Chain A
C-alpha cells in the first residue's frame, strides 16, 4: 500500500509547533503549580482560626464553658467541679488541675469558699484539624461568707483537642 508522502517541510513545521506548545505548556504548568502551592502551603493558610467561623465559634464556646465550670466551685457542691473537670479536661491538664483542686477543695470546705470564674476575653490563636490554641483572660472571684470577695484575672494559654465526636477538650493550660 502506498501512502502519499508529505514533504519534509511539513513534518518540520509540525514538530516545531508541537515543541513550542510543549515548552509553553510545561512552563505555565510549572509556574502555576508553584504559585498555587505558595498560596496554599503557607502557615497562614494552615491556620483556620477566624477563617472557619463555625469551628472557631465551637472552640470559643466549648473552651469557655469548660474553663468556667472547672475553675468555679462552691464549698457545698465540690463534686460538681470535679465532674466538670472530668468532662472538659483531658491528659496533662486534667492530671495537673486535679492535683491543684484537691488542695483547693480542702481549703474551700474549711473556709466555706465560693469561687466564680468568668471568661473576660477569649481568642483562638491557631486552629487546625483537631487542635486549637486559645488565649483566655479568666476572671476569678473568691468569696467567703461574711467578707468581701477577692478578684484576680488569670492569663491562660490553653490547648484544646477535638475528639471523634467533635467535642473540644482542654489538654493543656499554661498560665502566663
Chain B
C-alpha cells in the first residue's frame, strides 16, 4: 500500500500508537491512584491530624477581651459531648474569663493519630502542647506555662473532623 510508505503518514501513525499507549498507561495509573485505599487513608490520617492540632490549639486559646469570639471558635471545632458541654455553659465561660482577665494560648509540639476508623468517622489522637495562662485576680497578675499531654477523640461531622472529647493524659 502506498499510504504506508508515505513518510508523514507512517510517522504520524507510529506517534499516535505511542501516544495512545501512553494515555492508556497513565490513565490506568491515575485511576488506580484515585481508587487506592491506602492513599485515601493516608490523606484522611493527615486531615484528622490537622483538625486535631487546630482544634486543640483553639480549645486552649481564650482572651477575655475577645471571649465571645474565642468561645464561638471552641464551638466551631467541637462536636458531640464536648460541644454540648461548652455550648451549655457559654455565658459562664465568658463571665469567668472576664472576671479573671484570662489570656491563654497554646502551641502544639507533637501529635500522632493512634486510631482511625474512616467508615465510622472516629479517630483518637495523642498530643503534647505548651500552654500559657495569664490571669489577673485579687493577688495580682499570674502567668504560668505548662506542658500538657492530652488524649483527644475526634468525630467526622458533615465532612469535617471535630474534637468530641479531650482528656489529660497523666
Residues of A within 8 A of B (CB): 3, 5-6, 10-11, 14-15, 18-19, 21-22, 24-26, 28-30, 32-33, 35-36, 39-40, 42-45, 47-52, 120-125, 134-135, 137, 139, 153, 155, 157, 176
- Please report B residues at the A interface, Cβ cutoff 8 Å: 1-3, 6, 8-9, 12-13, 15-16, 19-20, 22-23, 25-27, 29-30, 32-34, 36, 38-39, 41-43, 45-46, 109-114, 116, 125-126, 128, 147, 149, 151, 169-170
From B9, B30, B170, A36 is in contact (CB under 8 Å) with: B30
Complex Cα gap A125–B14 (Å): 49
Distance, CA A10 to CA B6, complexed state (A): 13
Cross-chain contact B29 with A36 (CB below 8 angstroms): yes
Contact A18 B45 (CB under 8 A): no
Q: Which of A33, A120, A135 contacts B110 (CB 8 A)?
A: A135
Contact B33 A125 (CB under 8 A): no
Cβ of A159 to closest chain B Cβ, rounded Å: 12
Assembled-state Cα–Cα distance A121/B128 (Å):
11
A18 touches B9 (CB 8 A): yes
Residue from the list A14, A25, A52, A134 in contact with B23, Cβ < 8 A: A25
- Shortest CB-to-CB span from A2 to chain B, Å, is 10
Q: How far is the CB of B131 from chain A (nearest CB, A)?
A: 14
Q: Is the CB of B41 within 8 A of A22?
A: no
Known: A39-B39, A121-B151. A50 touches B113 (CB 8 A): yes
A39 is contacted by which of B3, B34, B109, B113 (Cβ under 8 Å)? Answer: B34
Contacts known (A32-B26, A155-B147); A25 close to B39, Cβ less than 8 A:
no
Name the contact of A28 in the complex, choosing from B6, B27, B151 (C-beta under 8 A).
B27
Cβ contact of A22, chosen from B15, B110, B151, cutoff 8 A: B15
B16 pairs with A21, CB closer than 8 A: yes
Q: Is the CB of B169 within 8 A of A15?
A: no
Other contacts beyond A14-B9, A33-B26, A137-B126: 20, CB < 8 A: A6-B3, A18-B9, A22-B16, A29-B23, A29-B26, A30-B26, A32-B23, A32-B26, A33-B30, A36-B33, A40-B33, A40-B36, A44-B42, A123-B114, A135-B111, A137-B170, A139-B170, A155-B149, A157-B110, A176-B147
